[in-house]
Amino acid sequence: MIPQAKVEVRVERVGSGALDGLRRLGDFCLLCVRTWRSAFRRHFPVRECLVQIESVGVRSLVIVGITSLFTGLVLALQTVDSLTRFGAKPYTGSLVGLAIVLEMGPVLTALMVGGRVGAGITAEIGSMVVTEQVDAIRAMGADPIQKLVLPRMLAVTLSLPLLTILADIIGILGGLLIALQHGITRHFYFQTIFSSVTLDDFISGVAKTFVFGWLIAMVACSNALATRGGTVGVGHATKRTVVIASISVLISDFFLTKILLTIL
Amino acid sequence: MSDLANDVPAIEMHKVCKAFGRKTVLLNLDLAIRSGETYAILGGSGSGKSVCLKHMNGLLRPDSGHVRIDGVDITHLSESALIDVRKSCGMLFQSGALFDSLSVFENVAYPLREHLKLSKAELAERVKECLAAVGLSSSQSLMPSELSGGMRKRVGLARVIALQPKTILYDEPTTGLDPGNSRRIGKLIRSLQERLRVTSVVVTHDLELCFAIADRIGLLKDGAMVSSGSVGEMRDSTHPVVRAFLRGDQDASLDEIESS
């Protein structure tokens, strides 16, 4: 039998946790609306957008390249091995191509960029919050959402699809290396890919990443602006961003795939 | 000063209450600051000084009560409507709050780029003037990480005066500085006040600074204004909390003071 006082404490904890979650969700939605509105006000931060695209897109090239290359290699290795058992080795190209274009390319790129860029955004803006730099922007009559959130949101949303296309290409080339080792010719490998991966498959894979990019940036900025409690707070906020951004990518992937399968 | 007393206060706070979660920080705070004066808000740590200051340019909004700037109620103004208030009311933050990613020049140019359409030459000239006013003409190309604490505050001050504000809010301008740098900042505040004829509000627990620069002083304790008056009046005050604060016993409660 649990004492009543303990039950009350637990109920209160659950209640305050739920309220806190709702408040965060409300803040997130408000930030999304404000960011959207800030895009149409004067002083659009063109220069800052370009700087962010460089920081998010160009500087993620290596990490995305390595991830997709090894994903392609491993995927082809497993696929060749499994398909050989069923005498279906010639389908290696089709399977690798479909898996990379539909899921592995978009999701793994989003997770890698979500970790690298999302954490970076939260750490940077979170530090600005605790050192009063965000207040200083407001005190000077400028809008921190337009100056900080909007450029990052646009940069991640626009860079992620491009990085995904690159990841798709590198992943498929990685698969080719393994296919060649197992006696599948380059010509046949690409022929099987082009015959099974349609334009719709490619579009559905890339289209999802616009949403992933937007989610990663908004989660990162929302957590950053809610940072409290000095450098320790920045650490907590950064951790929260990596977790929430990754989970958001995976959950939204399921629903987006469901929607895209019915549309395309 | 007597003719100013009849004017609408430059800054007025009326029965302002503010709480963060369960912690009440300001409780029915009343305050009126005249145009052109230097008003120092004294108080121990955690007395609500900085929170009080952040209400004066709308960075924080009261839970109840009103804040008026030049007679205009800013309590419920939107962020975009507050832009004009903030353009005419600069704020120097405790740490300087310089943008780490921008050079000293870019930091001072930031508000100018945001609100004025100046040519490159005009912008450079204006930034140079502001940095000269704080004695840092040769530091334009440095990054904030290369500056000492005192220099950061002076660059912060140059950024504040760039838009030629009517009011300057100073949040703990001498905290973390050595006595020499503290005196230098004090002199700077006084000279800016005389030269630019601004209304200055200085939040501090530094008594020396307070007596050196203030026209009037208010003592804040537990979120309410305990006493307010000219420097002379405060020095001669018989109020137990004021006496205790001036003695250096900043955090003593009223009960403790009365019992002693």
pLDDT at B202: 93
Q: Within chain A, where are the H helices?
A: 4-38, 46-56, 61-85, 92-99, 105-113, 119-130, 133-139, 144, 150-181, 186-196, 199-225, 230-263
C-beta of residue B157 within 8 angstroms of C-beta of residue B134: yes
- According to CATH, the topology of domain B37-47+82-88+165-259 is Rossmann fold (3.40.50)
Residue B100 with chain A: CB contacts under 8 Å: 127-128, 131, 133
Contacts of B67 (CB under 8 A, 6+ apart): B11, B12, B13, B14, B16, B55, B56, B58, B73, B74, B75
Q: Do A141 and B110 touch (CB under 8 A)?
A: no
pLDDT higher than 90, residue A254:
yes
Report ipTM (2 d.p.). Answer: 0.87
For residue range B186-224, list pLDDT tens digits in order.
888 888 888 888 899 999 888 888 888 899 999 988 888
At B79, list the tokens. Answer: 């962020």
Distance from CA of A130 to the nearest CA of B (A): 10
pLDDT at B178: 83
Give the whole-angstrom CA distance, residue A98 versus residue A75.
Answer: 11
The residue with greater pLDDT, A163 or B213, is A163
Give the whole-angstrom CA distance, residue A83 versus residue A96.
Answer: 11
What is the identity of the amino acid at B80?
S
Instruction: Decide if A199 touches B, using CB distance below 8 A.
Output: no
For residue range B92-134, list pLDDT tens digits in order.
998 889 999 999 999 999 999 989 988 999 999 999 999 998 8
Q: Do A131 and B83 touch (CB under 8 A)?
A: no
Q: Do A136 and B54 touch (CB under 8 A)?
A: no
pLDDT at A207: 94
Q: Do B91 and A136 touch (CB under 8 A)?
A: yes
Residues 143-182 of A with CB under 8 A from B: 143
Q: Residue A78: how many CB atoms within 10 A of its CB?
A: 14
Choose the closest CB to B99 out of A43, A133, A141.
A133
Instruction: List the single residue in B with minimal CA-CA distance to A41.
Output: B80
Contacts of B79 (CB under 8 A, 6+ apart): A138, A143, B58
A162: pLDDT confidence band, cut at 50, 70 and 90? very high
Share of chain B above pLDDT 90, in %: 42
**What CA–CA distances, in Å, run from A189 to A65, A71, A97, A103, A179?**
21, 17, 9, 19, 7
On average, the pLDDT of chain B sits at: 86
Segment A219-240 shows an average pLDDT of: 94
pLDDT higher than 50, residue B4:
no
B5: pLDDT confidence band, cut at 50, 70 and 90? very low
For residue range B166-182, list pLDDT tens digits in order.
999 999 888 878 888 88
B249: pLDDT confidence band, cut at 50, 70 and 90? low
Choose the closest CB to B86 out of A128, A133, A140.
A140
- If phi > 0 it is left, if psi is from -120 to 50 it is alpha, else beta; for residue A230 that is left
Q: Exposed, middle or buried, A51 (CB in 10 Å: 0-12/13-18/19+)?
A: middle
At A188, list the tokens. Answer: 């046949």
Q: Do B111 and A140 touch (CB under 8 A)?
A: yes
For residue range A80-97, list pLDDT tens digits in order.
988 888 888 888 999 999
Q: Worst-scoring range by mean pLDDT, B10-14, B152-156, B218-222, B239-243?
A: B239-243
For residue range A35-51, list pLDDT tens digits in order.
999 999 888 889 999 99
Instruction: Decide if A228 touches B, using CB distance below 8 A.
Output: no
At B148, list the tokens. Answer: 């000492």
At B95, list the tokens. Answer: 């740490």
Nearest to residue A224, comparing CAs of A212, A214, A213, A238?
A238
Instruction: List the single residue in B with minimal CA-CA distance to A51.
Output: B101
A210: pLDDT confidence band, cut at 50, 70 and 90? very high
At B212, list the tokens. Answer: 């050196």
Contacts of B234 (CB under 8 A, 6+ apart): B217, B219, B227, B242, B246
pLDDT higher than 70, residue B254:
no
Q: Do A141 and B82 touch (CB under 8 A)?
A: yes
3-class DSSP state for residue B68? strand
Share of chain B above pLDDT 70, in %: 93
Distance from CA of A129 to the nearest CA of B (A): 10
pLDDT at A86: 86
Q: At what angle do helices B149-161 and B120-133 cross, to 10 degrees?
A: 130
Residue B202: beta bridge partners? B40, B170
Q: Worst-scoring range by mean pLDDT, A165-174, A233-242, B47-56?
A: B47-56
Domain limits, chain B? 37-47+82-88+165-259
Nearest to residue B157, comparing CAs of B107, B122, B199?
B107
Instruction: Decide if B77 touches A, using CB distance below 8 A.
Output: no
Dump the DSSP string for A221-246. Answer: HHHHHT--SHHHHHHHHHHHHHHHHH
B3: pLDDT confidence band, cut at 50, 70 and 90? very low
